[in-house]
DNA sequence: TTGTACGCGTTATCAG
DNA sequence: CTGATAACGCGTACAA
């Protein structure tokens, strides 16, 4: 095959009878170019089908217009929503998102950070689920602003947008106890060290006893995991009168299993979720949960992102933000 | 603030006492470098915290290591899964995904394609939901391989991986009729021109009469949209004995609404979904649907992606593929 | 196995 | 408002 040379600014400049620099200026906003010249250039651009090469532009200007965004999974509608809101904000600002899926693995996260660093993103957005030492070191050394979301870590890298998963779960537990729950079981995930789910589990460990825990599901935990765990709990610990889940999906699975087992919810057993996923609203009965708002997290993250990048481009550092989006308990029909 | 110069290959080369080119080689795989030299370089790299600049590398080598991936939404677990599988495949190959969310808008898609083109991706992956003329023209002119997924368009740009949404829905309708459904209603979305959902709707229009359609939900259609539409249908057309939905989420919403309304499913009314989302398996009763497999679509797309890029890097063109992943009908408990 | 010269396509800078 | 020239940091192509 014949590799046809791509059209460059030089070609456009030649065609329009101006210098490359003039073309470069005409293609950016807020630059002073004579209207006539700009028109000529626009014409040549269309005629030749010219498309800017941002690799070259970025190399020269030292602005990549990239934002690195790392989430553990997309098969979690809340994270998917955060990604959508952030991506949208980036698009408005002419930024391009570099998406990375860590699959709930710190090693994978580190690998991704390393790879993304080579694209010189102007900001990093991480989901809190534990970071390796190397990741933190790498990020700090890079001088690139970092925003962590979905939790409020004790020692954030820079900015954080989230809430205390530990505290929120603690509140929900208190409400269940107040409602008369005596034997409370917990359905969680297998990754509970330094993770958000782990913080909820920790609240259970601290506030409930004795402990009845089923946490052998690989995240993201599914409906089916919840159903299976529920059956196990009710079979082995029939005295259980309240099953608290790490999130809404397993709570829904548990609820469906309860229906299949002929167990009355909430009369015989209460079930709680976490997150206010759509499923918790839509199911019959609707599920008692914690009203986390992914849109808010995305929006706040987007705002910090914008400011941090703006500052960085001026050679400044945007002061570390800590946005607390403490969620409320949402009492519905399963508890 | 003081803008500290970033460390480049030159710095590493200087520190290691070799030329830049040797460093460049040492950092790539499968290049012959004396073990001793490589070690010296690795040491300097770590010592200086050097991170490659892929902008410069890409500019020079004309390989961006980027793949553009456009999906309408992430709040659809099937699309989220496709993204995951494809992203994973890319990571294995050292490719970075540029994610774009079109929000079911052809204009948005065109805007994104234009923006991404400036990053010189080595391949484009699009979800079929209609493309503007300009988008197609842009893509064809770019010479970049394009893979369309989730449908088998009559006139694909290059490669396609998917199935006929029209045919699959047609089959499901035939099965419902055979089971005795007389008055079949349809719950769909508002975007039905050239879209995948539109193809399913078209099957309904062609195979059922009279038509009872509620399709005022903006995609992605939700559980609640399904519930609302179901109530409307059963109220206005009580003779309806089968409600077919554009996808599983509204089918689940309809099912929940039926339970709230005290309508027996499937005895009084049958309900069908489309896609075999997890919710259709987990709900009680489980939902009859069409067994689309997002993993397969992601995997096949990944394979073509790899081959197409490999060919393109050699200046060749990988012959247009058409992978048909026709799904099966999954009879479950709602129909 | 290693080095040299040059070019990739754009923007910064300074001059006009 | 426009242009000339020098980077930007790396890989290609060749030579040694």
pTM of this structure: 0.95
> Whole-number mean pLDDT of chain B?
96
Which residues neighbour B161 within 8 Å (Cβ) at sequence distance 6 or greater?
A: B147, B148, B149, B150, B297, B300, B301, B304, B321, B323, B325
**pLDDT tens-digit profile of B306-320?**
999 999 999 999 999
**Are B276 and B289 in contact, with CB atoms under 8 Å apart?**
yes
B36 or A321: which leads in pLDDT = A321
Distance CA B55, CA B61 (A): 10
Give the mean model confidence (pLDDT) for residues A173-189: 98
pLDDT score for B5: 66
Residues comprising chain B, all counted: 335
B311 CB within 8 Å of a chain A CB: no
Q: What integer pLDDT is reported at residue A33 of this predicted model?
A: 87
Strand B146-149 to strand B124-127: parallel, antiparallel, or no bridges (unpaired)? parallel
**Tell me, what's the pLDDT at B2?**
36
With contacts defined as CB-CB under 8 Å, which chain B residues touch A101?
A: 84, 87-88
A24 and chain B: CB distance < 8 Å anywhere? Answer: no
Mean pLDDT across B32-56: 93
Q: What is the CA radius of gyration of chain B?
A: 25
Q: What is the DSSP letter of A323?
A: E
How many Å from the CA of B58 to C1' of D3? 28
CB contact under 8 A, B75 and A74: no
Q: In B26-60, which positions are buried (b, 16+ CB within 10 angstroms) versus exposed (e)?
A: bbeeeeebeeebbebbeebbeeeebbbbbbbbbbe
d(CA A119, CA B233) in angstroms, rounded, equals: 52
The pLDDT value recorded for residue B4 is 52
- Residue B115 dihedral angles phi and psi, to the nearest 5°: -65, -40
Give yes or no for a contact between A152 and A85, defined as CB atoms under 8 angstroms apart: no
- The protein residue nearest nucleotide D2, judged by CA to C1', is A22
A316 lies within 8 A of chain B by CB: yes
Phi-psi group of B28: left, alpha or beta (phi > 0 → left; psi -120 to 50 → alpha; rest → beta): beta
Report the nearest residue to nucleotide D7, CA vs C1'. A60
Mean per-residue pLDDT for A248-264?
97
| Residue B80 with chain A: CB contacts under 8 Å | 74-75, 80
Between chains, do A99 and B87 touch, taking CB under 8 Å as contact? yes
| pLDDT at site B88 | 97
Burial class for B5, CB neighbours closer than 10 Å (0-12, 13-18, 19+):
exposed
Give the separation between CA B194 and CA B198, rounded to whole angstroms.
Answer: 6
% of chain A with per-residue pLDDT over 70: 99
Enumerate the nucleotides of strand D whose atoms come under 7 Å of any protein CB.
Answer: 1-5, 7-13
User: pLDDT tens digits, residue range B101-115?
Assistant: 999 999 999 999 999
pLDDT above 70: residue A1:
no
Q: Work out the average pLDDT over B272-283.
A: 96
**pLDDT for residue B222 is more than 70:** yes
Tokens (6 digits) for A222: 């599914």
Cross-strand pairs, B99: B69
Selected residues 239-278 of chain A with any CB under 8 Å from a CB in chain B: 252-253, 256, 259-260, 278
Which pLDDT does position A5 carry in this prediction? 67
- Report pLDDT for A223: 97
| pLDDT over 80 at B1, yes or no | no
Q: Is the pLDDT of residue A29 over 90?
A: no
Q: What is the pLDDT of residue B42?
A: 94
Q: What is the pLDDT of residue B29?
A: 77
Distance CA A270, CA B289 (A): 31
- Which nucleotide's C1' sits nearest to the alpha carbon of A12? C9
Q: Name the closest residue on chain A to residue B86, using Cα atoms.
A: A101
Compute CA B66 distance to the chain's CA centroid, rounded to the nearest angstrom: 17
What value does the mean pLDDT of chain A take? 96
Please choose, from the candidates B2, B283, B248, the residue with its C-alpha nearest in 3D space to the C-alpha of residue A227. Answer: B283
- Lowest mean pLDDT, pick from A3-12, A124-133, B129-138: A3-12
Tokens 């765990």 appear where? A229
Cis upstream peptide for A285 (omega within 30°) = yes
Show which of residues 54-113 on chain B sit within 8 Å of chain A, judged by CB atoms: 54-56, 58-59, 64, 73-75, 77, 80-81, 83-84, 87-88, 91, 94, 96-101, 112
List the nucleotides on chain C closer than 7 A to a protein CB: 1-5, 7-13
A124-127 and A66-71 as β-strands: parallel, antiparallel, unpaired? parallel
Which among A253, A249, A288, A284 has a CA at the least distance from the CA of A270? A288
CA of B24 to C1' of D11 (A): 8
Radius of gyration, CA atoms only, chain A:
25
| Out of A52, A59, A81, closest to residue B75 by CB | A81
Q: What is the pLDDT of residue B86?
A: 98
- Tell me if B315 and A3 make a contact (CB, 8 A cut-off): yes
Backbone angles phi, psi at B67, to 5 degrees: -130, 125
**The predicted structure's pLDDT at residue B32:** 79
> Does residue B3 or residue A211 have the better pLDDT?
A211
User: Would you state the pLDDT for residue A6?
Assistant: 87
Q: For A19 and D4, how far is CA from C1' in angstroms?
A: 9
pLDDT band at B31 (very low <50, low <70, confident <90, very high): confident
To probe the interface with A, which of B79, B88, B109, B118 has the most A CB atoms within 10 Å? B118
Q: Which chain B residue shows the shortest CA-CA distance from A73?
A: B84
């Amino acid at each position: 095959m014949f590799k046809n040379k791509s059209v460059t600014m030089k070609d456009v400049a030649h065609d329009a009878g101006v210098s490359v620099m003039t073309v470069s200026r005409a293609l950016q906003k807020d630059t002073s170019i004579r209207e006539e010249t700009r028109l000529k250039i626009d014409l040549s651009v269309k005629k030749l089908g010219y498309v800017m090469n941002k690799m070259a532009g970025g190399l020269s200007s030292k602005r990549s217009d990239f934002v690195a965004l790392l989430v553990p999974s997309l098969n979690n509608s809340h994270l998917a929503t955060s990604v959508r809101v952030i991506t949208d904000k980036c698009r408005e600002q002419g930024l391009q998102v570099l998406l990375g899926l860590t699959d709930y693995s710190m090693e994978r996260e580190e690998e991704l950070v390393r790879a993304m660093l080579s694209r010189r993103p102007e900001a990093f957005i991480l989901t809190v689920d534990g970071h390796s030492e190397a990741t933190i070191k790498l990020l700090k050394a890079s001088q690139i602003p970092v925003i962590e979301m979905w939790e409020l870590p004790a020692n954030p890298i820079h900015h954080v947008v989230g809430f205390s998963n530990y505290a929120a779960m603690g509140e929900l537990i208190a409400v269940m106890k107040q409602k008369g729950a005596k034997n409370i079981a917990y359905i969680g995930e297998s990754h509970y060290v330094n993770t958000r789910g782990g913080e909820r589990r920790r609240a259970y460990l601290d506030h409930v006893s004795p402990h009845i825990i089923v946490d052998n599901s690989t995240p993201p935990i599914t409906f089916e995991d919840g159903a299976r765990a529920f059956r196990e709990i009710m079979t082995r610990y029939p005295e259980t009168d309240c099953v608290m889940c790490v999130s809404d999906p397993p709570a829904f699975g548990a609820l469906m299993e309860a229906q299949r087992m002929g167990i009355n919810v909430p009369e015989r057993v209460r079930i709680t979720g976490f997150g206010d996923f759509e499923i918790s609203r839509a199911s019959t009965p609707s599920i008692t949960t914690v009203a986390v708002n992914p849109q808010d997290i995305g929006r706040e993250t987007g705002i910090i992102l914008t400011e941090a990048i703006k500052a960085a481009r001026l050679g400044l550092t945007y002061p570390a933000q800590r946005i607390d989006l403490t969620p409320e308990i949402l009492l519905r029909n399963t508890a």
